[in-house]
Structure 1
Amino acid sequence: MVVVALDEIDRLVKKSGDSVIYMLTRINESLKNSKLSLIGIANDINFVDLLDVRVRSSLVHERILFPPYNARQLEDILRDRAKIAFYEGVLEPSVIPFCAAASAREYGDARVALDLLRTAGEIAERNGESKVREGHVRLAIKRLEMDTVIEAIKTLPTHGKAVLYALYKKTLSEMRKGKKFSEIETTTGELYQEYLNVCYFLGIPPVTQRRFTDFVSYLDEIGLLNARIASRGRYGRTKIIKLASDVSYVEEGLKSDPEFSSLFVRRPVQTSLEKYFSSL
C-alpha cells in the first residue's frame, strides 16, 4: 500500500487545476502489486466542488473535519515548546495563557500561537529585558497583524493595490476631518471615481467598473476590506465598502512597492515667488 499525502490540496487545485488529482485517482487501474491511497489536507472544506465531475466521481472520498485548537490545547503546545525555547523563569506566568487565548480567539492556529510567543520573546530580548511579559505579547500581536497585512498587500497585482490605495486615501481623508475609523465607509461608485484618480497619477489605464468590482471582492475575501450589499430603495443596491486593516499597516504595505511609494511623498508647497519664477 502506498499512501500519498498532499498538504494544502485546495491551493494546488486552484493554482494548477485538478489533472494531478485525476491521475492519482485513476492510477490504481494500472497497478498490479500495490494500491495507492490519497490523503488531501485542505483549508477550504468545499474545495471538492471545484473539481471536474469526472474527478469527483473517481475520488471516492471521506471527509474528516479537524476543528481549530482551543485555548487549552494551544496552551499545552506552547508549554511544551517553551521548555526548549526559553530558560526557566524567563516567561511570566500569564504569558503562555495569554498567547493561547489570543491565538484561539482569532485563529485557533498553533503556528500563529508559536509565532506570537517567539515574537514576544524577541521584543523582550531586543529591549534588553530579562523577562517576557504580557505587554510584550500585546506588542507581538500588533506586529504580527501588521506583517500579515503587509505580506498580503505585496502579493496584489497593480490594480488591486490601486483599489486599496483609493480606499486608504478616502479613509485617511475622513479621519483627518475627525471621523472615527469604524464609521468611515464608501460606495462602489465613489471608490471607483477615486480609483480612476489613482490610475491617472500612476499613469496606468484603469480597468472597467465590472473588473474593478472583482478586485473589491478579492480584497474583501483576503480581509483587507469589508464589503456588504446595501439597498438604496428605488435606486437599487450597491456595495458599502470600508477598510478592514489599520491605515498605518496598509500604508506600510503599499510603500513597499516603488510604484506606489511615490504617492506618499509630500511635495513642498510653492511660495508665490517660486510660482512666479517657474512661470517665466
Structure 2
Amino acid sequence: MSLDIIDELVKNLKAPSTRIFKNREILHPEYVPEVLPHRENEIRRLAEILIVALRGERPSNALLYGLTGTGKTAVARYVVKRLVEKANSLNVKLEQAYVNTRKLDTTYRVVAQIASSIGLKIPPTGLAISEVYRRYINALENWGGVHIIVLDEVDYYVKREGDDLLYKLVRINEELKSSRVALVGITNDINFVESLDPRVRSSLGEVEIVFPPYNAEQLFDILKQRAEMAFYPGVVDDGVISFCAALAAREHGDARRALDLLRVAGEIAEREGSPKVTVDHVKRANVEIEEGRVQQSVMSLPLHQKIVLKAIIEVAKLKGSATTGEVYLKYAEIAKELGLEPLTQRRVSEIISQLDMLGLVNATVASRGRHGVTKVIRVRSDLVKTVDDLLKDVK
C-alpha cells in the first residue's frame, strides 16, 4: 500500500496537473535577489563601512540588529557578495565567510567553516579547536588579503558556547601582519551586547545598524517582486499577495513569514491541482506553518525547558493560567519523578521568558500588591494539544 502511495507521488511529481511554480527556490528565505526593496538605507550604511576592504584596509566590525525577517541576513550577504565581486574585477584579495551559528552547533564547526572559506581544508573532527584556529591564522598570513566574516544568529551561539571565540576573532588582527579580518554579527536580540565580556563588546559593535520591521505595503512589494519570478503568469493575483503581506505584518513585519506563506500556499494549490493560488490556500498555509513552527520549537528545546513547558500546560489546564511559583512547584515535581535535580526558581523564571520569546507561552508581569510581582503565564488554546502531544515523552 505504501509503495502505491510513493508511485502516485512520483507520477504527480513528473507530470503536475497544473503549472504553479516557475522557480520555487526564489520564495525560500535563503535566496538573495539582485534588488532588496526597502533596504536601500541599510545596504548603503553597511557598504560604506565595508568598502575600505577594496583598498586592502580592515573595515570596522559591524553588528546588525532587528527582529526575525527584517532583512538583516539578506542585506549582509548581498553587500559582502557584491564587494567580493568588485574585488575580483579590481584584482584585490577579498573573501567572505558566512556562518549560520545556529545551524553549526559547535565552536569547532564554526571555526572550520570560517577557515574553509579561504581554501583551508579542516577534517570534520580530530583536531583541537586551538589547532584549527592556528591553521586559520597561518592560512590568512600566507594568503594576504581581507577576510570578512558574517556570523548569523550570533546571540544564539554565545548563549550556547560562550564568547571565547568572539574574543579571539575581534583581537585576531593583533596576530596578523599581511592579512586583515572584519566581523559582521547578526542578532535578533537588541540586548545581546550586554551579555558579552566588555572587551568583546567594545570591539564587536564598533558600528551598529538597526533594521526596522517591514510594514504591510513594504511586504507587498517584496512578495510582488518574488512572485513574478517564482510563479507562472496569472497564478497569483495581487489580492493573495496583499493577504500574505497583511498576515505577516501582524507578526512584526516578518518577510520570512510572508515568503513562507506564499510558498506553502503555492504548494497546497499544486498538490490539489488548482490553476491558481487563492486566499483560502494562504489561510491553510498559515495553519500548516504554525503547526510546523510549534513542533520544531518544542522538539529542539533542551530537557529542562521541555519540563518547564509541560509544567505550565498542566497548571494552565486546571486554572486557565499559571504563576511562576505554581509552575516551579509543578516543574520540581516532574523533575524529581524523572530523577533530575531541579534548577533554581530564578533559572526557571528565565526559561519562562525564553518560552515567551519563542511564542510558546504568553508571560505578563502582574502586581500582587505588598507581595511583590509575579508572572502570569498562559498557553494559546490552539497550541495546547499540539504541544501536549509533543511532550508525551516527558513523563
> The TM-score by the shorter chain falls in which range?
0.7 to 0.9
- Distance of 2:249 and 2:226 partners within structure 1: 17
Inter-CA distance 40–213: structure 2 relative to 1 (3 Å threshold): closer
Q: Return the match for 1:91 from 231, 236, 246.
A: 236
Contact 1:120 1:137 (8 Å CA) reproduced: yes
Q: Does 1:207 align with 2:342?
A: yes
Q: Return the match for 2:293 from 148, 154, 160.
A: 148
Query: What is the one-letter code of the residue matched to 2:238?
Result: P
Inter-CA distance 61–151: structure 2 relative to 1 (3 Å threshold): same
Q: Does 1:186 align with 2:322?
A: yes
Matches within 5 A, 1:82-231: 82-173=227-318, 184-195=320-331, 198=334, 203-205=338-340, 207=342, 210=345, 211-231=347-367
Q: Does 1:43 align with 2:188?
A: yes
Q: Does 1:240 align with 2:376?
A: yes
- Distance of 2:223 and 2:376 partners within structure 1: 40
Using the TM superposition, give the Cα deviation of residue 147 of structure 1 relative to its aligned residue in structure 2, in angstroms: 1.6
Using the TM superposition, give the Cα deviation of residue 116 of structure 1 relative to its aligned residue in structure 2, in angstroms: 0.5
Q: Return the match for 2:206 from 37, 56, 61.
A: 61
Using the TM superposition, give the Cα deviation of residue 130 of structure 1 relative to its aligned residue in structure 2, in angstroms: 2.1
- Distance of 1:132 and 1:118 partners within structure 2: 10
Per the normalisation by structure 2, the TM-score is: 0.56
Using the TM superposition, give the Cα deviation of residue 119 of structure 1 relative to its aligned residue in structure 2, in angstroms: 0.9
- Distance of 2:149 and 2:308 partners within structure 1: 41
Render the CA deviation track for 1:146-192: whole Å, top value 9, x for unaligned: 22122111122333223322332344456xxxxxxxxx323233334
Identical columns (%): 48
Higher relative contact order (CA 8 A, sep 6+): 2
Render the CA deviation track for 1:174-222: whole Å, top value 9, x for unaligned: 6xxxxxxxxx32323333454466557x644572561543433332232
Render the CA deviation track for 1:245-277: whole Å, top value 9, x for unaligned: 344x343244245514xx7xxxxxxxxxxxxxx
Contact 1:161 1:254 (8 Å CA) reproduced: no
SS of the counterpart of 2:208?
A: coil
Inter-CA distance 252–50: structure 2 relative to 1 (3 Å threshold): same
Q: Return the match for 2:174 from 29, 38, 41.
A: 29
SS of the counterpart of 2:365?
A: strand
Query: What is the one-letter code of the residue matched to 1:41?
Result: I
Contact 2:313 2:388 (8 Å CA) reproduced: no
Deviates more, 1:203-212 or 1:70-79: 203-212
Inter-CA distance 111–195: structure 2 relative to 1 (3 Å threshold): same
Unaligned 5+ segments in structure 2 are 1-55, 57-145
Render the CA deviation track for 1:87-116: whole Å, top value 9, x for unaligned: 211223310111112112213222211110
Contact 1:120 1:136 (8 Å CA) reproduced: yes
Number of positions where the alignment pairs a residue of Structure 1 with one of Structure 2: 249
Residue in 1 aligned with 2:29? Answer: none
- Distance of 1:55 and 1:191 partners within structure 2: 36
Per the normalisation by structure 1, the TM-score is: 0.76
Deviates more, 1:149-158 or 1:191-200: 191-200
SS of the counterpart of 1:83?
A: helix
Using the TM superposition, give the Cα deviation of residue 234 of structure 1 relative to its aligned residue in structure 2, in angstroms: 4.1
Render the CA deviation track for 1:3-49: whole Å, top value 9, x for unaligned: 22222222232222222222222222233334332222222233222
Contact 2:262 2:282 (8 Å CA) reproduced: yes
Residue in 2 aligned with 1:19? Answer: 164
- Distance of 1:209 and 1:55 partners within structure 2: 29
